[in-house]
Structure 1
Amino acid sequence: MVHEIMCMGEICPLPLLKTRKKYEEMKEGDVLKVVVDHRCSLDNIETYFSKIGCTLKIEEVLTGVWEVYIKK
């Protein structure tokens, strides 16, 4: 199952907190798509989920807008 969180216009640490909460609710094998438009939010999400061993895919879909895919 694919879940999605839109964090456009939100600044740290809110996107990371929302992402962590949703990730905890997901089942093994689910994918979470997070859309952010602040580089610091992207960096924090990438750092946190890399440290816990998640598979991440990051795409810059527009200038300054990223989609982060996190697999549980």
Structure 2
Amino acid sequence: MVHEIMCMGEICPLPLLKAKKKYEEMKEGEILKVVVDHRCTLDNLETYFSKLNCSMEVKEVLKGVWEVYIKK
């Protein structure tokens, strides 16, 4: 199952807090897709989730818009 959080126009820490909450609710093997448009938000997501035992993939789908895929 893929969960999606749209965080366009939102600045930290709100997107990170939303992602952390949703990640905690997810089951093993599920994927969280977070869409962001602020580089600082992307950096914070990468920093936080790199410390957890999960895989992460980042795609810049438009200039300045990233999709972050986090697998629990």
TM-score range, shorter chain: over 0.9
Q: What is the match of residue 45 of structure 1?
A: 45
- C-alpha distance in 2 between matches for 1:33 and 1:45: 11
Q: What is the match of residue 60 of structure 1?
A: 60
Give the residue type in structure 2 aligned to 1:51.
Answer: K
Aligned pairs, number: 72
Gaps of 5+ in 1: none
Identity of aligned residues (%): 81
Q: CA RMSD in A?
A: 0.5
Shift of 1:54: 1.5
- C-alpha distance in 2 between matches for 1:44 and 1:19: 11
Shift of 1:61: 0.1
Give the residue type in structure 1 aligned to 2:48.
Answer: Y
Q: Compute the TM-score of the two structures, normalised by the length of structure 2.
A: 0.98
Q: What is the match of residue 10 of structure 1?
A: 10
- C-alpha distance in 1 between matches for 2:37 and 2:61: 10
Q: 1:16-68: CA deviations, max 9, x gaps?
A: 00000000010100000000000000000011000112100000000000000
Q: Compute the TM-score of the two structures, normalised by the length of structure 1.
A: 0.98
- C-alpha distance in 2 between matches for 1:43 and 1:28: 24
- C-alpha distance in 2 between matches for 1:23 and 1:53: 12
Displaced runs of 4 or more, over 6 A: none
